[in-house]
Chains A and B, each alone.
Chain A
């Protein structure tokens, strides 16, 4: 986008279009230009300039004739390349689905359409949404807008990078073990993993039906709130319900697993974030979070067999069309005994009950860093198989996978930058269905810290 438009977050851009200060065509042209200008980031896999501009002009005509059609009228967006639209290719970051033309449209895309959004293209992702770094054996690596040599995070790599680079003001990603939250943290934007089951999953590439959820990314919690309102079908106006301060809110700081082995810059930024939340009126208390490490490991027993079942016929017939890392992770899923998978799923209810009766009896929201480490440089985390791959994957998502296993909602928002200027993310975790608390805390924190005002060097 041009400088002025790129500085607008999604809500500001939508409101400017609604007020007639900016046309949908100008916003869309600007986003398309930004996508081209940032092609070296490799965040976009497919652009639809003609279709997007035609839709934008139609939106401008509609607004002139009868006003805006919804809360995202004329706003250009782009989404992870795994949401189906009838008649269009959805490649899922793969060779195997490279030419797949969907026959149905995702309910989430339909809801964004009804709200007036314009889709300009589809975004980079890890092959079949399996990979937390932004590497893809077929598409190449997605760069980080703050430093192209750093990882973008994944699997919603293009969603994080495109929003971070200010190509678009909002994007859809998906999250099975951290795939919205990690790119949000690494690219310095806001990302929400909603409660499992809150959003429909039709027309969306399946990875693990027990853990998958779509999730929005944007450059403020207020913008994520607007997107979530649309994605839930308007059932709840999260944006209108944002509170102005944090009085009456108790935030838990977990001891044990979530506090262990933090890189010093992460630990410092996290302490600063908690102090800021306390200054905003929240009460911060220590809470014991039961066995996060076990939850993280149990998540693999849940998702890996479900993913392997999805891929069994292609593993037999087209083994050479997978990247080595993805094939090896699927192989693990094939080898997990059915009884172990069933046990991991069955124990989930008991574990969730224990977390609600334990730490969540003492607080409204639990705060953790999104990652234990600062952002890695890409060459440091290239691994295709074996224990090295397990360490990379396990290390990056150590603090996000337990949340996925438990089905809880979590928001990631920037909590500062390290000495290299790379962003670090704060993860906020709530009880089931309490996305509102996350968005309120995120919005208040962002207004106080202004981390989101800082632009990546690659932004216009």
Chain B
């Protein structure tokens, strides 16, 4: 993954403020860990219907 300041300033065109880099770095680490846990919980093939039309599964469940 790119460096936080490079991502903000060069990729997104945002003016970085003091503390932005460290905040982004912490968020990236936390988010990476969260997604890793979620995928592990889903199993190697994903939870039922994760791979096959997952949004349709959610839409069908909330609109039933």
Contacts and interface: CB of A to CB of B under 8 A. Distances in A.
A binds B: yes
Interface of A: 195-197, 291, 294, 297-298, 301, 312, 315-316, 319, 328, 331-332, 334-337, 340, 343-354, 356, 385-387, 407, 432-433
A432 B31 contact: no
A433 B63 contact: yes
16 contacts: A197-B63, A298-B38, A301-B31, A301-B35, A328-B23, A331-B14, A332-B23, A344-B38, A346-B54, A347-B50, A349-B50, A349-B56, A349-B61, A350-B49, A353-B48, A385-B23
Interface of B: 1, 4, 7-8, 12-15, 17, 19-20, 23-24, 26-28, 31-32, 34-35, 37-39, 41-42, 46-50, 54-59, 61-64
B24 to A, nearest CB: 5
A319 B14 contact: yes
Nearest to B22: A386
B37 A316 contact: no
Contacts of B28: 335
Contacts of B42: 347, 350
Contacts of A331: 8, 14, 20, 23-24
The 5 closest A-B pairs by CB, nearest first: A349-B57, A350-B47, A349-B58, A346-B54, A432-B62
Chain B contact residues, majority secondary structure? helix
Contact of B24 (A335, A351, A387): A335
Given A294-B37, A312-B12, A347-B38, A432 B61 contact: yes
A165 to B, nearest CB: 34
B39 A352 contact: no
A294 B34 CA distance: 8
Given A319-B14, A348-B54, A350-B42, A335 B7 contact: yes
A315 B39 CA distance: 32
